């Protein structure tokens, strides 16, 4: 047999993902898009549970925030078991392990928060829910902002995947729950969005609505593949948001919210730092060239620190160490 008759093995690119339904939908979308761009390659998805997936009976803020949904995937990348990992960008820490980088940011879905209500409240908005109505959220960011605007409501932690949370709502454990619009839309459940919360009520999480693809630094082959999915306007917005969060050294334990608007080549970044009880909220806005996205994020963080955010951050740090 001649050498030319021997088939060349197809290169298999290994993609890491969490096992949750939403994570798999997102990862399979990435796989399918890359397959369209690179039909000569084979793409394989490897799934695993992360610490955040395993511990479901404790609030996220109480079990830490550094790599809760990413560390196991990152270890596999470092060990060479997978080539890259697909994350909801809001779950990806702003400081990555040595040797790993954020290789790609995909086009963002609606980053807003959504109110989903029990059937008995379908005629109401969040502002008209009765006093004492129980709202489920596992996010300190959402909790602080909603406590600030709607002190008449009661709030209760809720964990589990999206279907689990919706089931708890539908069986009457909650009057309403707060979820990301993007997650509901990606799972084909956009009809469950009862009310999209406006930015003046709830600024969204850093990176919410976008996917972040993490890979090994210097892996030219993989970085070249990932650039086919990069969405520069989303990336610029998210780089500004992540720089803001990184400069504040915030995470799941700190109520920090953002909102970004890109108009032409100008980027506007709004942000807040809130106390856990929602009594104090420090707000600020910066605007500048989109190409200076990270500088804008750092600028806003410094602005908020000087306006009183540092006192809130110090108080939260002291409380968490107590």
pLDDT tens digits, 188-240: 999 999 999 999 999 999 999 999 999 999 999 999 999 999 999 999 999 99
pLDDT number for residue 321: 67
Which of 53, 65, 79, 91 is an active site residue? 91
Q: Residue 315 is part of which domain span?
A: 231-322
Neighbours of 140 (CB within 10 A): 23
Give 251's pLDDT tier (boundaries 50, 70, 90).
Answer: low
Helix axes 232-248, 293-304, angle to 10 degrees: 30
Task: Classify residue 202: in a domain, yes or no.
Answer: no
Higher-pLDDT residue of 57 and 18 is: 18
Stretch (H or E) spanning 177: strand 176-180
pLDDT number for residue 87: 96
Residues 2 and 83 in one domain: yes
Spatial contact of 225 and 38, defined as CB atoms under 8 Å apart? yes
pLDDT, tens digit, for every residue of 75-93?
Answer: 999 999 999 999 999 999 9
Residues 61 and 129 in one domain: no
Distance CA 31, CA 23 (A): 12
Number of domains in the chain: 3
Among 196, 219, 242, the domain-final residue is 196
Give 65's pLDDT tier (boundaries 50, 70, 90).
Answer: low
- The CATH number covering residue 275 comes to 3.30.160.40
pLDDT number for residue 253: 76
Residues 98 and 150 in one domain: no
Stretch 246-272: mean pLDDT = 91
- The CATH number covering residue 130 comes to 3.40.190.10
Task: Classify residue 42: in a domain, yes or no.
Answer: yes
Stretch 299-315: mean pLDDT = 95
CA distances from 223 to 63, 101, 103, 157, 220 (A): 33, 10, 6, 39, 5
3-state secondary structure of 134: strand
Q: Is 91 a catalytic residue?
A: yes
pLDDT mean across residues, the chain: 91
Residue 310 CB partners (closer than 8 Å, separation 6+): none
Higher-pLDDT residue of 65 and 172 is: 172
Residues 250 and 287 in one domain: yes
């Amino acid at each position: 047999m001649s050498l030319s008759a021997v088939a060349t093995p197809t290169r298999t690119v290994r993609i890491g993902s969490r096992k949750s339904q939403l994570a798999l939908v997102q990862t399979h979308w990435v796989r399918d898009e890359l397959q369209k761009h690179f039909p000569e390659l084979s793409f394989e998805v490897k799934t695993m549970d992360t610490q955040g997936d395993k511990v479901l009976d404790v609030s996220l803020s109480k079990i830490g925030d550094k790599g809760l949904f990413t560390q196991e995937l990152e270890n596999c990348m470092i060990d060479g078991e997978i080539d890259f990992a697909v994350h909801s960008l809001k779950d990806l820490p702003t400081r990555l392990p040595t040797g790993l980088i954020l290789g790609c940011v995909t086009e963002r879905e609606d980053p807003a928060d959504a109110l989903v209500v029990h059937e008995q409240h379908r005629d109401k908005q969040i502002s008209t829910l009765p006093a004492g109505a129980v709202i489920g959220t596992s996010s300190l960011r959402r909790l602080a902002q909603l406590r600030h605007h709607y002190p008449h409501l009661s709030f209760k932690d809720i964990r589990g995947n999206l279907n689990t949370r919706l089931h708890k709502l539908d069986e009457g454990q909650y009057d309403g729950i707060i979820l990301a619009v993007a997650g509901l839309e990606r799972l084909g459940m956009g009809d469950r969005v009862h009310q999209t919360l406006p930015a003046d009520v709830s600024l969204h999480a850093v990176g919410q609505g976008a996917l972040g693809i993490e890979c090994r630094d210097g892996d030219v082959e993989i970085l070249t593949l990932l650039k086919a999915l990069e969405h520069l306007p989303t990336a610029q917005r998210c780089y500004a948001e992540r720089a803001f969060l990184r400069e504040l050294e915030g995470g799941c334990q700190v109520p920090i919210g953002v909102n970004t608007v890109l108009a032409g080549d100008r980027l506007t970044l709004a942000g807040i730092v809130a106390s856990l009880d929602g009594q104090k909220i420090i707000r600020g806005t910066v605007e500048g060239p989109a190409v200076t996205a990270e500088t804008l994020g750092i600028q806003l963080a410094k602005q908020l620190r000087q306006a009183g955010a540092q006192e809130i951050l110090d108080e939260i740090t002291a409380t968490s160490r107590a």
